[in-house]
Structure 1
Amino acid sequence: MSRVGAAAVAAGAVLVGCMPWQGEEAQEKKDAGVAAAAKASAAAAGQANLRKTRLAAAAKVRANELGQIPVLMYHRVVDKPTTQDDRTPAQFRAELERLAQEGYVPITAAEYVTGRIDIPAGRHPVVLTFDDSSPSQFDLDGVGAPKPLTAVAILQEVAQRHPGFRPVATFYVTRDMFGKATPEEQAQMLMWLHDKGYDIGNHTRDHKSLRGKPEKQVNAEVAAGHQLITKLISTNPVTLALPYGNQPDHKQWGLKGATDGVSYDYGGVFLAGYTPAMSPFSKNFDPLGIPRIRSMDKTGDCAKFCSTAWLDWLKANSDERYTSDGDVKSVAFPKFKSPFVVKRFSERVLAY
């Protein structure tokens, strides 16, 4: 190549390296990077401000989602009680009115054990549970409405008077199934409850104590109750209420098991009474034995350990009670309680 040609090539190389469009592209990339960084910084600042706002809101209502939750246990609702577990319609209505006035919002047992506690800020969850599926709890009239003075009818009436007081509960059913004899009638009852947001739980088919029985028999009793429900409606029960509150020799047998092609794996097993229950977000929550509170006035043994007494205690010790921050996606509580939160919920923690 001649000296002139080489010079021309060299000059061309220099010109190509300095083409205007390449400089503009580099500047555009630089500007885009700056814009992206600014956007990320703004997003981070926005998230920080949002978290600060959420913390302030949680602190304002004194949210404590590691607090205790009353799980109330009912049986029959009848005019003339014959056992200590019976309540009159007037007594049942009065207790619901008290719960509504004191800021409680009903949730189901399934929502409780799975941590789906979606209630307004400053309110407190309560779980209403009904054992043995008696006709006094629920029955339908000729047009498909709950019969007057049944527990469901009373609950709906109270909810209508108190906006925000959800008419939901959990029914632990047995083969008696609200006094209905045919599968069609039984399915009708469970479908109505399920469609209205009520929860159906397993109480075993035959309501026999599980204490002292071998694993195979425990599995068979629980599985029979599970199948009783799933044959009638297309949903699986999420919880079990132990007959008489008697735990099997190995607690795990009530929570998970299988027999003859029927398996169950529950989120929680409920006992028959005694104390408020722990938050599902707390390390003290035990799904193998969740306590319930028998509904009763302050008389005899119930002077300390039934519903009136415990609701009085929770009112007097409000810092021990579960109080919502209003956001189902977070778990809010005072920062000093942080050691008690279950690790798997750490990403949802809002400690103020």
Structure 2
Amino acid sequence: MRSTPGLTPLIGIVNVGVMIVAAVVLLVYPLGGDDEPTTGQVAAPSPQPSPTATPSREPQRASAESARRVRANELGMVPVLMYHRILPKPIASIDRTPSQLRRELERLAKGGYVPITAAQYASGAIDVPAGAHPVVLSFDDGHPSHFALGPDGAPKPDTVVGVLYDVAARYPGFRPVATFWINKYPFGLRDRERQAQAVRWLVEHGFEVANHTYSHPDLWRLRTKKVSEAIVRGERLVTSLGAPPSYTFALPYGSRPKKRSAARKGKWDGTSYAYHAVFMAGSEPSISPYAKAFDPYNIPRIQSNGKKGECRRWCSEYWLGWLDKHPDRRYTSDGDPTRVSMPRRFQGKIQAKLREAMIVY
């Protein structure tokens, strides 16, 4: 995907800005100590099973006629939205309030977007109804505002998961799923059994829980061995709490290590890791995983925010509006997960291995 005119020079600035803000937040609100599990071998996993993210529905066989009818374009852009803390009174510019989160989710639901996980997007396992648009909702750091269970065993209504379920209940077809990239105290919990209870609940309900390193360091500042240590310690935590081995990995601060390949594969203390996708910090919509230009190890995300200041041209309010104004550039599903449909002018951009599955109109 080519950036819109004038945007490309901003991308580096955007990532630096996100890194600085996040660094200040973590200095004020540190993550805590260094205790962590020490066992487990991390291999290259398959996409996480998702019992509720893709509800059963009648399979639809796409054709050129049906694809044209819904204006399908499965080589279009997919917004991967990036959230951090959800607070009644935001402290940092990257924070959002519960009402802001709710309004954005309602906007997505009304606009025909259907949430999928980061793993489903990156692996190409996109199964949404014909005419709908996939969106990835990603939440960094495992903050207490993301998830908590009430006395009744249900998600607390003022958490991310609680809001997701409420919006999904009022907008049929809007799936209550998201990706949570966690650090050493998932959802603010210190007790290991409570951590495991939270992670198991999320995985069993179709959410993706994956690695964001153990202590959230700036990987650029670390030697390669320390990069691998930070990632392995985080991955050991994820799997020890009952989540599958992480299919995806999100860079803390969006900061790449000097040896870029160390973000996706490596080894430390007898444990290896090999991720299938690496996600960065904000800037622009992501391209289709079926496109030739798709780079699974450099996937951009869009910071959830308004259109003030630096966000005027690169946060979620701007980009969702841009996609509304350019529907031909947005990923629109044909409803058939076995085919890849698109207008004829896009057919040269599909990966060669997918040409047999291609439908053009």
If the length of structure 1 is used for normalisation, what is the TM-score?
0.84
Cα distance in 2, alignment partners of residues 323 and 256 from structure 1: 32
Distance 1:79 1:234, change over 3 A: closer
- The answer on 1:134 being equivalent to 2:143 is yes
Is the helix fraction higher in 1 or 2?
A: 1
| Stretch of structure 1 that moved more, 138-147 or 309-318 | 138-147
How far 1:234 moved relative to its partner?
4.9
Greater C-alpha Rg: 1
The aligned amino acid for 1:147 is K
Match of residue 162 from structure 1: 171
How far 1:231 moved relative to its partner?
0.9
Partner SS for 1:263: strand
Match of residue 327 from structure 2: 318
Partner SS for 2:103: helix
The aligned amino acid for 1:194 is V
Of the three residues 267, 271, 278, the one matched with 2:276 is 267
Match of residue 236 from structure 1: 245
Partner SS for 2:309: coil
The aligned amino acid for 2:212 is H
The aligned amino acid for 2:74 is E
How far 1:250 moved relative to its partner?
2.7
Report runs of 4+ in structure 1 exceeding 3 Å deviation: none
How far 1:284 moved relative to its partner?
1.6
Confirm or deny: 8 A CA contact 2:168 2:175 kept in the other structure: yes
- The answer on 1:106 being equivalent to 2:139 is no
Of the three residues 238, 255, 275, the one matched with 1:246 is 255
Higher relative contact order (CA 8 A, sep 6+): 2
Distance 1:56 1:100, change over 3 A: same
- The answer on 1:88 being equivalent to 2:97 is yes
Of the three residues 292, 313, 318, the one matched with 1:283 is 292
- The answer on 1:256 being equivalent to 2:265 is yes
What value does the CA root-mean-square deviation take over the aligned residues?
1.3
- The answer on 1:187 being equivalent to 2:196 is yes
Match of residue 50 from structure 2: none
Match of residue 41 from structure 1: none
Cα distance in 1, alignment partners of residues 158 and 243 from structure 2: 29
Partner SS for 1:122: coil
Q: Deviations over 1:40-81 (max 9, x none)?
A: xxxxxxxxxx98x71110111111111110000111111100
Cα distance in 2, alignment partners of residues 113 and 82 from structure 1: 32
The number of aligned residues is 302
Confirm or deny: 8 A CA contact 2:210 2:243 kept in the other structure: no
The aligned amino acid for 2:145 is S
Cα distance in 2, alignment partners of residues 152 and 90 from structure 1: 14
How far 1:177 moved relative to its partner?
0.7
Q: How do 1:136-151 and structure 2 match up within 5 A?
A: 136-151=145-160
Match of residue 117 from structure 1: 126
Match of residue 196 from structure 1: 205
Partner SS for 1:272: strand
Partner SS for 1:137: coil
Identity %: 49
The aligned amino acid for 1:331 is V
Cα distance in 2, alignment partners of residues 267 and 345 from structure 1: 18
Confirm or deny: 8 A CA contact 1:68 1:278 kept in the other structure: yes
Match of residue 330 from structure 1: 339
Question: Structure 1: where are the runs of 5+ without partners?
Answer: 1-49
Confirm or deny: 8 A CA contact 1:251 1:288 kept in the other structure: no
Q: Deviations over 1:211-240 (max 9, x none)?
A: 143322211111111111011115111100
Partner SS for 1:264: strand
